[in-house]
Amino acid sequence: MATRKKSLLKVIILGDSSVGKTSLMNQYVNKRFSNQYKATIGADFCTKEVVVNDRVVTMQIWDTAGQERFQSLGVAFYRGADCCVLVYDVTAPNSFKNLDSWRDEFLIQASPRDPEHFPFVVLGNKVDLDNRQVSTRRAQQWCQSKNDIPYYETSAKEGINVEMAFQTIAKNALEQEAEAEVINDFPDQIILNSQNNRPGNPDNCQC
Amino acid sequence: MNHVDEIKIDQPALSFEKSPESDEEHRKRLEIEELIAQSEHHNIPLNTLQKLALTPYGLVNDNLRRILWPQLAGVDVNTLERAPTLGELQNHPEYNQVVLDVNRSLKRFPPGIPYEQRIALQDQLTVLILRVIKKYPNLRYYQGYHDVAVTFLLVAGEEVAYAIMEQLSTTHFSECMQETMEATQRRLMFIWPVVNFENPELYQFLQRSTVGTLFALPWYLTWFGHSLNSYKAVVRLYDYFLASKMYTPIFVTAAILLHRSSEIFKEDCDMASVHCLLSRLPEDLPFEDLLQTSSMLYDKYSLTVIEKEVEVLILKEKEQRIAEEKMLLERRKKLTRSASTNRSYSIGHWLPNLLKSRSLLVTTAVSIVVGVCAYYYKNQYLAPGIS
C-alpha cells in the first residue's frame, strides 16, 4: 500500500485570539486544562500518536497566534497540512463571524491541490460557560454551507467532545493525506520521521 | 541601603528571587551601591551604568533596577505624567485584544501575590499599553508587547514603566510595532549570517531543516520575557538589552544556537523536530556566558555586512520558492493531462488518426479487402455446407 509510507499527519488550528486553541490542543494531548495559558506568539506544536483505521499515526498539531498581524508568518507551516481546525468561542459572536476569513486565509496560504474538498473541522469551544451567544443551528448552517464541514461543540476546560473531535480530525486528515500521497503532491516533504525524537514519550507538548 | 529606599515607588516591591546572593553578586551590588551613594541625585554616568548592566550579573537586584532602569532607558523620573484611568481608554480599538492578553499573563506575576493586588496590576498593565499606542497611532500593539510591559511594571511601577515603554516603543520595538510583521521577519534572518560565519556546519544543518526563524520570534518580540520561566534570568537580560544597541537580541539568539550546536546536530534534520528543540529554552542556559558571546559577536560583525548577506539569502529563498512552485505546477499539469488522457483513451487517441485522410484511405482499403476475402471465403468453403 502506498499510504503505508507516511505516518505523520499535519493539523493546523486557527481562530481568533482567546477562543481556546492552545487549551484544546493541551486537553487533547495532555488531558490537562490550565487557566494560566499565555497568549501564543507565532506558533507552537504538539505531537500525539493516534490509532486511526487500525493504523498508528503521529499527529502533529500546530497551534497558532490569534492576532491577525501574525497571519503572514503562517505560510511555512500551513503548507502540507492534512487538516485545518477552525475554532470559535460560542460566547463570542465575532469569533464565529471571523471563521469565514480564517478559512479563506488558510486556503490562500496553504493552496491545497483541491481547495473544494480540503478537510476542515469546526469546533465551537467553551460550551461550559453560561453566556452562550452563537446557537448550534447557526453554526451548523454555516458548516453545511461550506461543503458540510464536520462540527463539534467542545469544552477544553471540561474535556467535552475534545477526544471525539480530534478522532474526526485525524480520520479526515488521514484520508486527505492518503489522497495527496497517491497523487504524489508534496514528495519533498513526505520523508518526515520526527516521531522518534523523544524516545519513550511519543506525545509531547512544550506548552 | 538608605539611598535605595528613598526612591519613591508606586507599590510594594515584588521579588521572585529565592536564591541567595552569590559572592560575585554581593561584590557587584556593593560596587553599584557605592557608585549610587557617590553620585549626585543617584545619577551614574551613562557609560559606567551601561558597563555595569552589560557585565556579569548586570544590575544584580530589583531595588537597584528600580533606580537604574529609568536612567539606562533615558527616562527622566522627575517629569512623569499621571496615568489616565482604564475607563478613559476603553474605546480604543485595541482595547479588547490587550485585555485578552493581559488576562492571560498570570504566569508573569509572582506566585502567591494577593488577588486584589494582581488585578490592580493587570489594570495598570492594560492602561500602560493603551497609553503608548494611543499616543503613537502609527505604532501597533502586538501579542508579546504585554510581556515586555509587565516586566517594567513589576520592577519600576506604573509611571516609570510607561515612560520606559514609550522610549522603547519608538526605538527598539518600533520595527515590531509596524502594521505587519514583515520587517521583523526580515530582521530575524540576521541570525543566519552570524551563525554561518561562526559555524558553517550548523548553518547548513539549520538551513537544510527549513526550520525558519519562527522559534525565535517570541524571544525577539519580548526580549525573552515570554519564553523564560526564570524571573531572575528575564530581568538580567533586560539589564543587558537596555544597555545595548538595537537588534542585540539577534546576537543573543545566535549565541544560543551556537551554544546548543551539538544538541542540534543530534536532532532529526526536519522543520518540526528542529523547531521543537529550539523553541524550548533549556532551564540551565549559562546566560552570563551567552551575553558575553553576544557582545563579542556584535562587535565582530557589522550590521551592514550581515544585511548584505541577508539580501542574498532572501533572493536565494525567493528563487527556490519560485522553482518549487513551478515544479508543483508542472507536476499537477502532468497529472491532469495523464488523467484526462486515461479517461478518453479509446476515443481521444484514435479519433484524430481516423480522421486523417491518408489513414481514412488505408482503413477503407483494408475494410474492402477484408470484405472481399470474407465473401470469397464464404462462397468457396461454406456455401456447399449451408445449402
CA dist B147 and B144 (Å) reads 5
The percent of residues in chain B predicted with pLDDT above 70, rounded, is 83
Residue A163 lies in a domain: yes
In the prediction, which pLDDT does B373 show? 57
Decide: B274 and B267 in contact? Cβ < 8 Å: yes
Confirm if B28 and B56 have CB atoms less than 8 A apart.
yes
Contact A76 B214 (CB under 8 A): yes
Report if residue A201 sits inside a domain: no
| Cβ-Cβ contacts under 8 Å, B215 against chain A | 42
User: What domain range includes position A118?
Assistant: 2-193
Q: Do A76 and B104 touch (CB under 8 A)?
A: no
Residue reference for cell 481608554: B89
CATH number at residue A183: 3.40.50.300
From B97, B103, B106, residue closest to A67, measured CB to CB = B97
Residue A31 lies in a domain: yes
Domain count along chain A: 1
- Distances from the Cα of A146 to the Cα of A78, A140, B16, B259, angstroms: 20, 10, 51, 49
B273 touches chain A (CB under 8 A): yes
ipTM metric: 0.84
pTM: 0.83
Q: Containing H/E element for A151? A: strand A151-153
Residues on chain B touching A70 (C-beta within 8 angstroms): 142-143, 181
**For chain B, domain boundaries:** 2-169, 182-301
Amino acid at position A19, single letter: V
Q: What is the pLDDT of residues B128-175, one digit of tens each?
A: 999 999 999 999 999 999 999 999 999 999 999 999 999 999 999 999
Residue A204 lies in a domain: no
Contact with chain A for residue B66, Cβ under 8 A: no
For an interface test with A, give the residue of B104, B118, B175, B186 to mutate (most A CBs within 10 A): B104
Question: Which CATH number applies to B2-169?
Answer: 1.10.8.1310
Which carries the bigger pLDDT value, residue A199 or residue A71?
Answer: A71
Q: Which of B180, B218, B270 sits opposite A42 (nearest CB)?
A: B218
Residue of chain A whose Cα is closest to the Cα of B264: A197
Q: Report the Cα A1 to chain-centroid distance in Å.
A: 26
Report the length, in residues, of chain B: 387
**Sign of torsion over alpha carbons B25, B27, B31, B36:** positive
Phi-psi category of A18—alpha, beta or left, where left has phi over 0 and alpha has psi -120 to 50?
A: left
- A-B contacts (CB, under 8 Å): 96
CB contact under 8 A, A39 and B146: yes
Alpha-carbon torsion, ordered A164, A167, A173, A174, to 10 deg: -150
Domain B182-301 has CATH 1.10.472.80: yes
Residue in chain B lying closest to A38 (CA): B104
A200 within a domain of the structure (yes/no): no
Of B216, B99, B145, B89, nearest to A18 by C-alpha is B99
* Residues B320-362 pLDDT 10s: 889 988 887 888 788 777 766 655 444 444 444 444 455 555 5
> Mean pLDDT for chain B?
87
Q: Does some domain include residue A106?
A: yes
**Does residue A198 sit within a domain?**
no
Q: Which of A16, A120, A13, A45 lies closest to B270 in space, CA to CA?
A: A45
pLDDT at residue B343, rounded to an integer: 53
Q: Do A73 and B328 touch (CB under 8 A)?
A: no
| Interchain CB distance below 8 Å, B97 and A73 | no
Chain B hits for A41, Cβ within 8 Å: 143-144, 217-218, 221-222, 226
Q: What are phi and psi of A44, to 5 degrees?
A: -145, 165
Q: A203 pLDDT band (50/70/90 cuts)?
A: low
Chain position carrying cell 515607588: B9
Interchain proximity A69–B104, CB inside 8 Å: no
Asked if residue B216 has pLDDT above 50, the reply is: yes
